[in-house]
Amino acid sequence: MSVLAYHVTWTTYGTWLPGDARGWVRWGEWGVKPPDSEREREAREQMAGPPVVLTKEQRTLVEQTICKHCRVRGWQLHAVNARSNHIHVVVTADRDSDEVMNQFKAWCSRKLSDAAGLVGTVAKKAGRRRWFTEGGNVENIEEEAYLENAIRYVLEGQ
Distance CA 134, CA 102 (A): 10
Are 146 and 86 in contact by the 8 Å Cβ rule? The answer is no
Are 33 and 26 in contact by the 8 Å Cβ rule? The answer is yes
Position with higher pLDDT, 132 vs 27? 132
Model confidence at 3: pLDDT above 80: yes
- The answer to whether residue 35 sits within a structural domain is no
- The answer to whether residue 21 sits within a structural domain is no
- The answer to whether residue 40 sits within a structural domain is no
C-alpha pair distances (Å), 36 with each of 13, 18, 41, 74: 19, 8, 9, 43
Domain that holds residue 85: 5-16+49-156
Phi, psi at 134, each rounded to 5°? -70, 145
- The answer to whether residue 126 sits within a structural domain is yes
Distance CA 135, CA 23 (A): 17
| pLDDT over 70, % of the chain | 92
**Total domains present in the chain:** 1
- CATH code: domain of residue 132: 3.30.70.1290
- Reported as a single tens digit per residue, the pLDDT across 48-80 is 888 999 999 999 999 999 999 999 999 999 999
- The answer to whether residue 32 sits within a structural domain is no
Close Cβ partners of 19 (under 8 Å, ≥ 6 residues apart): 33, 35, 36, 37, 38, 39, 40, 41, 42, 43
- The answer to whether residue 22 sits within a structural domain is no
- The answer to whether residue 125 sits within a structural domain is yes
Close Cβ partners of 16 (under 8 Å, ≥ 6 residues apart): 22, 24, 85, 86, 133
